[in-house]
Structure 1
Amino acid sequence: MTKYYTTGQAAKILGVCIRTVQLWVEDRRIESWKTSGGHRRLSRESVHAHLNSDRLSNALTTDLSPHTATKQFLIVDDSKTDSRLLTQIILMVFPDADIAEAADGFEALIRVGKKPPDILITDLNMPNMNGLQMIEAIHKQLGDEKPTLIITTAYDAEELKSLPPIPPYVTSVFHKPLNIDLLSKCLTQLK
């Protein structure tokens, strides 16, 4: 058994995309080094410590806001880890939130058709139907009654330029790994 993982292996273990792992490495959340060939290797111990980390749980236990009316949320992300993180952040700001999840754009459209949420948080890079395609379909389906739309993405600013433009009716875009404080502040402003 090796004492390291490749970035791809770590991404599978952590349930996130490779770009998220790269960002965590750059942020020094996961220990790593580069081989002589320039390939990144991640400490097996550090990856598992990150997976089982209590830091996130401790960071999310403080309620930042007073009690407000129940809001309906829909999280659309194929990463279970990212969905759990978003759920924790939402509950920190909206303790009584009604939160549903969808793993891709198609599933999200079905949920929106049955019960439109007040706030929809979606990843861009998903299987079957990506976040931009889904947002456009929701806009056509619901028009002015569409939910508040927030995008999360592992794409950096340069990569986003290669995609179709983000529609002007999207409230915010947050890059992964998510900045918990900034996203919490954004959600607090939506109360």
Structure 2
Amino acid sequence: MANNDLKKQKIFCTTSEAAEILSISVGTVQLWVDTGLLEAWKTPGGHRRITRESINRMLHHKPAAVALATSEQPGGALRVLVAEDDADLRLLYQTVLRHWPMGPLVEVVDNGIDALMAIERFRPDLLFIDLDIPGVDGFQMLKILNGKAEHAGMTAVVVTGLSRADIALRGGVPANFLVLPKPISFEKLLSIASALWELKAHRAGRTVA
């Protein structure tokens, strides 16, 4: 208790202390620092010091996630996260994904901050992300997620209304992420999800009907 009280009084926290306070991994703390969700500076020795004020902001942030379909076997269900700021498209995702044959567990968020929090908490197998989302945009998020070992099992698919030229002008996205145009082809998204579901079932020793 005394140790927790001391942390509350500190203006700056170490990465490990921030992870403990926020109940997330050290790797996620580093990710949130890289995306600007947590304010930090480095000591002369290269150690991060994170402001308690920014930690408190994240503690009180209420994710606007919408949980959808459930599965008879939640532990083995395909987990899908959708990050899309257009309300009509979010509703369309909810309507269509609810009827996918593998019965995925789905969360829908409308901004990059909630998306990053959901990635840590929900641990999606598949992420559908628009590039122009508020908070932390898709460009920044994908560049930081790229190559992170803790997210190596997550497949990210960009669904955007931007042209390839516009994407290139804004710095592009890592080459290993699939980019699909809007209007959304849910048939294509389903084929991607089905392939991932079969792979997940194979690894778990299950048979896909």
Global fold match (TM > 0.5): yes
Would you identify which runs of 4 or more consecutive aligned residues in structure 1 move more than 6 Å?
none
Contact 2:77/2:105 (CA < 8 Å) preserved in 1? Answer: yes
- Name the SS of the counterpart of 1:78 in structure 2: coil
Match of 2:105 among 85, 98, 105: 98
- Name the SS of the counterpart of 1:93 in structure 2: coil
Q: 1:94 to 1:137 in 2, by over 3 A?
A: farther
C-alpha distance in structure 2 between counterparts of 1:164 and 1:109, whole Å: 20
Match of 2:152 among 145, 158, 181: 145
- Partner residue, 2:122: 115
In structure 2, what residue type is equivalent to 1:177? P
Specify every segment of 5 or more residues in structure 2 that has no aligned partner in the other structure, as ranges: 1-75, 198-209
Tell me by how many angstroms 1:106 deviates: 0.9
Matched, 1:182 2:165: no
Work out which structure has the larger RCO, using CA pairs closer than 8 Å and 6 or more positions apart in sequence: 1
C-alpha distance in structure 1 between counterparts of 2:82 and 2:126, whole Å: 9
C-alpha distance in structure 2 between counterparts of 1:147 and 1:185, whole Å: 16
Contact 1:120/1:148 (CA < 8 Å) preserved in 2? Answer: yes
In structure 2, what residue type is equivalent to 1:180? F
Aligned residues: 122
Q: 1:104 to 1:89 in 2, by over 3 A?
A: same
Structure-to-structure mapping, 1:146-165, within 5 angstroms: 146-165=153-172
- Partner residue, 2:56: none
Q: 1:180 to 1:73 in 2, by over 3 A?
A: closer
Q: 1:94 to 1:122 in 2, by over 3 A?
A: farther
In structure 1, what residue type is equivalent to 2:191? K
Tell me by how many angstroms 1:157 deviates: 2.1
Matched, 1:70 2:72: no
C-alpha distance in structure 2 between counterparts of 1:83 and 1:186, whole Å: 19
- Partner residue, 1:48: none
Match of 2:86 among 58, 62, 79: 79
Residue deviations 1:134-182 (CA, integer Å, cap 9, x gap): 2233346554534110111010222122121221331x21111112322
Tell me by how many angstroms 1:94 deviates: 4.1
Contact 2:161/2:182 (CA < 8 Å) preserved in 1? Answer: yes
Residue deviations 1:59-107 (CA, integer Å, cap 9, x gap): xxxxxxxxxx511111001112212222344334344211011111111
TM-score, scaled to structure 2: 0.52
Specify every segment of 5 or more residues in structure 1 that has no aligned partner in the other structure, as ranges: 1-68
C-alpha distance in structure 2 between counterparts of 1:147 and 1:153, whole Å: 19
C-alpha distance in structure 1 between counterparts of 2:149 and 2:88, whole Å: 29
